[in-house]
Amino acid sequence: MKKYIVGNWKMNQTLANIDDFFSSLKIKDSKCEAWIAPQTLHVAELLKRSEGAPFNLEVGVQNICEHESGAFTGETSAVTAKDLGAGFTLVGHSERRSLYNEDDDLLNKKLHSALKSGLTVIFCIGEQLIERQNGMTNAVLKNQLIEGLEGINANSFNDGQLLIAYEPVWAIGTGEVATPEQAQEAHAHIRAVLAVELRLENKTIPLLYGGSVKPSNAAGLLSQKDIDGALVGGASLKGEDFSKLCEIASL
Ligand code: PGA
């Protein structure tokens, strides 16, 4: 399986920054899956620019509404994102969980809505620092998977249409990265929960690690057995770093 480098641009990048990003990209013939989730209003712009890129760049969104259409002022549906040309969406990023109070029940609805529209979903989970310190990491991850993926079975999605991102909350945007061993241990646990509790053992579900990934620590993380790629915030904003990450993931 190709490794994934997924850039989560969050609420960053002006059009001028996007120009800089594309002019400093050094990817030639990428052997990894290079994906970017810009702000939704920039999806069309990124799709336009990626047409000329010498490698395949998948463009997605960071969030979708749980409803397909209707009176939900300010929201964007999965169907609209798909119509726009987005290939994937994040669901359950820790910033959505903590800043916008998105709970497991809502995230489960978003997951179903996105899969139904044909979007690929990167479903994000991760423990808080206090939970890790109290030895609750595995229990928290299991619970987020069981609640978040409720009603999902092997027929709900195609191979590769659902990815799980393990993002320990204490490592997001803090510069503090999980060690490759900590990340591998969590990923092995996630793999086991998906197989045993959710009976998805025959599905291909890539597992991404996220939280302060950068060119200097990516190789150690990506070489772990159960780490299929990285979800990258800060280090995905610059074309040089994004290129380096793709290079490492292509080895
Ligand atoms: P970071 O963000 O790489 O800046 O820590 C990761 C994320 O929020 O997905």
Q: Going by CA atoms, what residue is nearest to atom 7 of ligand 1?
A: 233
Rounded to two decimals, the pTM is 0.97
Q: Are 204 and 160 in contact (CB under 8 A)?
A: yes
| pLDDT of 241 over the 90 cut | yes
Tell me the pLDDT band of 36, cut-offs 50, 70 and 90.
very high
Q: Say what the pLDDT of residue 80 is.
A: 97
**8 Cβ below 6 A of ligand 1:** yes
Q: Which atom in ligand 1 lies closest to the alpha carbon of residue 213?
A: 3
**In 27-72, beta strands by DSSP E:** 33-37, 57-61
Which residue from 172, 160, 165, 237 is spatially nearest to 204, judged by alpha carbons? 160
pLDDT band per the 50, 70, 90 thresholds, residue 30:
confident
* Higher-pLDDT residue of 28, 125: 125
Q: What domains, with CATH codes, occur in the chain?
A: 4-249 (3.20.20.70)
pLDDT at 28: 77
